[in-house]
Amino acid sequence: MALRQIRIQGDPVLNKICKEVKEVTPRTLELIGDMLDTMYEANGVGLAAPQVGILKRIVVIDTTGEDPVVMINPRIIEADGEQTGYEGCLSVPGVSGKVTRPNRVKAVYYDEQLNLKEIEGTELMARAICHEIEHLDGHMYTEKVIGELVDNSELREQEEE
């Protein structure tokens, strides 16, 4: 496994639509391993394949640091409730923005053995699932930010007040 370079907003690869994964090859597994390594190294809670320059429908999410979920061809099938809060993206370093998301989502996806799985998440997990799946269609959270992007150091000060 290895670290991959995280593409930064402005890189056209982040605005492309990713292709469905039809088979999981050793290269696919290597990519997934590298995505997990890259996400953990950058202290992120999620990473989508286009963020490392690969236009495949694969995302990895870990909201706790010890519970990685690898989602191939993920699709949201239910969403309800509402939450508004700050989120960030490894492709938009150093800043966060306020985004409204559903508070609960249910998604279906394939695991690395191409078994169909279902996952339900609330709060941060729901936010991460929505954020990462949008990357697969070339969308960035910055399109949805309410108000301005805030520097992360300012955000930490606000939280401490």
CB of 49 to Ni ion, least distance (A): 11
Q: Does residue 31 contact residue 56 with C-beta atoms inside 8 Å?
A: yes
Residue 145 in the binding site for Ni ion (CB under 5 A): no
Q: Which of 66, 78, 118, 132 is catalytic?
A: 132
From the list 10-18, 61-69, 89-97, 147-155, the region that binds Ni ion by CB under 5 A is: 89-97
Smallest separation, CB 1 to Ni ion (Å): 21
**Nearer of residues 24 and 123 to Ni ion, judged by Cβ:** 123
**Of residues 9 and 28, the one with the C-beta less far from Ni ion:** 9
Measured distance CA(46)–CA(42) in Å, rounded: 10
Least spacing, CB of residue 95 vs Ni ion, in Å:
12
132 belongs to the catalytic site: yes
Say how far apart CA 105 and CA 30 lie, in whole Å: 28
Least distance from Ni ion to the Cβ atom of residue 68, Å: 16
> Pick from 89, 95, 99, 125: which binds Ni ion (CB under 5 A)?
89
Taking a C-beta distance cutoff of 8 angstroms, is the pair 39, 88 a contact? no
How many residues at the interface with Ni ion, by CB under 5 A? 1
Taking CB under 5 A as the rule, does residue 133 contact Ni ion? no
Q: Choose the stretch contacting Ni ion; rule: CB under 5 A; options: 29-37, 78-86, 87-95, 120-128.
A: 87-95
Q: Which residues bind Ni ion (CB under 5 A)?
A: 89
Give the residue numbers annotated as catalytic, written as ranges: 132
